Amino acid sequence: VGEPPPLALIDGNNFYVSCERAFDRKLEGVPVLVLSNNDGCAIARSEEVKALGVRMGEPAFKLRPLIEKHGVRVFSSNYVLYGDMSRRVNDVLNQFSPEAEVYSIDETFLGLSGFAHKDLWDHAQDMRATVRRWTGIPTCVGLGPTKTLAKLANAVAKKNPVFGGVCDLTHPAVRGAVLRAFAVADVWGVGAATARKLAGLSVTTAAALRDLDPMLARSLGTVVLERIVRELRGIACLGLEHVPPTRKGLAVTRSFGAPVSGLGGVLEAVATYATRAGEKLRQHGLVAGQLCAFLHTNPHQPGPRYHGARSTRLVPMSDDTRALVAAARRCIEAAWRDGFAYTKAGVILDDLRRREDAPRSLFEAPDPRAAALMRAMDELNAKHGRHTVFPAAMGIQRAWKQRAEHCSPRYTTRLSDLPVLRA
DNA sequence: TCTGGGGTCCTAGGACCC
DNA sequence: TCTGGGGTCCTAGGACCC
């Protein structure tokens, strides 16, 4: 029995940083850092920034001296730009294989059945070069018979420049040495909790995990860990998902730009998040059956803490902004406690299904004007910009709005932000 | 003294991912 | 002063059914 057909995992290097660099040559060769929402912490680092010792998720305020000292170029996250660049990269990859699964904003699995083994490496290099030329994004490629091995190969290619950007683990002979040198905590699907348990059994490398008894793995870390063991042995347990499955839940949650202690401010914020959630629902043609709203104080600070949340059923299931806003406000009013400085709130929708599959209630006939109203709002906001029309419950001042003090232009999705070439 | 057996469905919480 | 956002999957246990 042969091994399954090869898979490739293509992954953008320091993806958000590379998106910024694609439009500004002056960012080449200098330290570049991209911050999370609210300019809170480090989420993408150029090689120069990694060399300065900045870790993933490190709070931005702690980095301030280092940023000053080394002239680090700092960016707020620009998801409109990154999302569009991701789409462009995938357009290129689709020309190399029709079997694609977009796994995340910067990673795609490709099925490469039909390629002779000796051609794989050239093919992978060709993909890298084409993506680089057509989008400006540098990538690495991992090749293997299973998703887990392709992920592992990709991590190896990224970490060791000697591989030239491509690591091929489709050949069983080279796998052993690579797996013996690979830390088990870095294997895809092995998190901190599982790594601790494995360390207790002296399993510290990917090779040792591969050699673990699958039943023991199952008792240690559920069927998920058992699958990882088998995948490391070259037995595919995780298929390519060409068509993304319909999503099960959807959330809009944000930290505030500054703490909020009045009920009015939090109600405005969740009305805004519920409004955004409604837009997302309608984009996907979905309705929600359940809504949960929460608020909480800063978990990183000492002092009085509170986390409040309430959920409610949406009957009938809905994608109507007015129903979502009303439900979210009711939940927050019920969860509210005076006397705290709140730093974050959110709206979570669950029990999603396609609008045409939603159960109808026996006595209420849907009002056709409701759908027309939502459509009109969506069209106005699409044409004239977000928040051209919005529920009054969102407020006008929105003093709780997030920080984003270093945002780059939306180079590829907004005419006014197009890059300009000067002679 | 002594109280069945076999299901399904739902939810909360943990673990993990990027 | 100051620490992101948005997902998935799995399991255990409770509620409920006949």
Mean pLDDT of A297-302: 90
Rounded mean pLDDT, A317-341 = 95
CA of A112 to C1' of C12 (A): 40
Question: Are A115 and A6 contacting, i.e. CB atoms less than 8 angstroms apart?
Answer: yes
Residues 49-108 of chain A within 7 A of strand C, judged by CB, are: 57, 59-61
| pLDDT average, residue stretch A413-419 | 89
Strand C lies under 7 A from the Cβ of residue A189: no
Instruction: Give pTM, 2 decimals.
Output: 0.94
Predicted confidence (pLDDT) at residue A115 exceeds the cutoff of 80: no
Give the CA-to-C1' distance from A93 to C5 in angstroms. 27
Cα A132-A94-A22 angle, rounded to 5 deg: 25
Q: Using CA atoms, how far apart are residues A370 and A372, in angstroms rounded to an integer?
A: 5
pLDDT for res A1:
54
Under the banding of pLDDT at 50, 70 and 90, the label for residue A118 is low
**pLDDT band with cut points at 50, 70 and 90 for residue A367:** confident
What are the distances in angstroms from CA A28 to CA A14, A23, A46, A48, A368? 13, 10, 9, 10, 54
- Measured CA A104 to C1' B12 distance, in angstroms: 27
pLDDT tens for each residue of A13-65? 999 999 999 999 999 999 999 999 999 999 999 999 999 999 999 999 999 99
Q: How confident is the model at residue A97 (pLDDT cuts 50, 70, 90)?
A: very high
* Region for A345 from its dihedrals, namely left if φ exceeds 0, alpha if ψ lies in -120 to 50, beta otherwise: beta
C1' (C4) to CA (A49) span, angstroms? 19
Give the β-pairing of A32-35 and A73-75: parallel
- CA A400 to C1' C9, whole Å: 34
Nucleotide nearest to A106 (CA to C1'): B18
Is residue A6 reached through a cis peptide bond, with omega within 30 degrees of 0 on the bond before it?
A: no
pLDDT for A290 beyond 60: yes
CA of A189 to C1' of C2 (A): 32
A356 vs A205: which has the higher pLDDT: A205
A117 pLDDT tier (thresholds 50, 70, 90): low
- Judge if the beta carbon of A191 is closer than 7 A to nucleic acid strand B: yes
Work out if A40's Cβ lies within 7 angstroms of strand C.
yes
Residues A71, A76, A78, A79, Cα dihedral to 10°: 120
pLDDT > 80? residue A9:
yes
- ∠ CA A395-A288-A283 to the nearest 5 degrees? 70
Query: Phi/psi at A85 (nearest 5 deg)?
Result: -65, -40
Protein-contacted bases of chain C (C-beta within 7 A) = 1-11
CA atoms A271, A273, A278, A282: torsion sign: positive
- Quick count: other Cβ atoms within 10 Å of Cβ A421? 5
Q: Is the CB of A326 under 7 A from strand B?
A: no
CA of A333 to C1' of C17 (A): 37
pLDDT tens-digit profile of A181-233?
A: 999 999 999 999 999 999 999 999 999 999 999 999 999 999 999 999 999 99
Task: List the beta bridge partners of residue A107.
Answer: A11, A104
pLDDT surpassing 80 at residue A406 = yes
Cβ-Cβ contacts under 8 Å for A341 (sequence gap 6 or more): A259, A260, A261, A297, A298
Greatest CA separation found in chain A?
A: 69
Residue A224 CB closer than 7 angstroms to strand C?
yes
pLDDT value of residue A366: 79
Query: Looking at strand B, which nucleotides approach a protein CB closer than 7 A?
Result: 12, 14-18
